[in-house]
Amino acid sequence: YAVLHPMQALYNADNREQFFPAGCRYDYIVDAIDLVSCKLDLAETARRLDVPLIMALGTGNKLDASLFEVADITKTSMCPLARVMRRELSKRGIRHLKVVYSKEEALTPTGWETETRKTDTTGTEAHTRKANSTGAIVKLAMIDKPGLPVTFISRFGNMPW
């Protein structure tokens, strides 16, 4: 079975050491970061530490889980984020990377996920903000084993698939 240890923090180059303290050794890293610069830094860090990484790409506004694919980034198609990541990773000497992506055409956002402001009668502003996903770095006992249940940690909670 897999043991997940999700971290509730935003990963970036400035706080990388918080995710990789001295003596810490991960068996696998699962990336669900939205920012390209942070994804690139995590990929370089994983390579330097020799920790396998799987990166989520091109899954926003896509609902059909049956169309999700696990592939090498060189085999992706119909995913603008994968195209950018291939180019940028190649510049950094990373040619192959396991990714999760979907060929499904993204739905057009309806507006609920963007920031809105309302002012109530007392003048107090109420805010709703777009949820920011954070990269989840997890320690796994096993992964890629046939029949292994997988849980994706997302900004909407745990989703066993």
Q: Are 86 and 39 in contact (CB under 8 A)?
A: no
Q: Are 67 and 102 in contact (CB under 8 A)?
A: yes
| Both tokens assigned to 36 | 């390209």
The CA distances from residue 76 to 87, 102, 120, in Å, are: 13, 9, 47
* Rg (the chain; Cα; Å): 17
CA distance 116 to 29: 34
| Both tokens assigned to 93 | 């000497």
Listed residue (51, 96, 53) closest to 75, CA to CA: 96
Give the residue-averaged pLDDT of 27-37: 90
Q: What is the pLDDT of residue 1?
A: 65
The pLDDT tens digits of the residues spanning 136-151 come to 343 333 333 344 444 4
CA distance 161 to 142: 16
Q: What is the pLDDT of residue 90?
A: 97
CA distance 93 to 81: 18
Whether residue 127 has pLDDT greater than 50: no
Cα 35–Cα 36–Cα 37 angle in degrees, nearest 5: 95
pLDDT band for position 111 (cuts 50, 70, 90)? low
pLDDT band for position 161 (cuts 50, 70, 90)? very low
The pLDDT tens digits of the residues spanning 46-96 come to 999 999 999 999 888 888 889 999 999 999 998 999 999 999 999 999 999
Q: What is the pLDDT of residue 112?
A: 55
Whether residue 110 has pLDDT greater than 80: no
Mean pLDDT, the chain, whole residue set? 74
Q: What predicted TM-score, i.e. pTM, was given to this entire model?
A: 0.67
Strand-pair partners of 128: 116
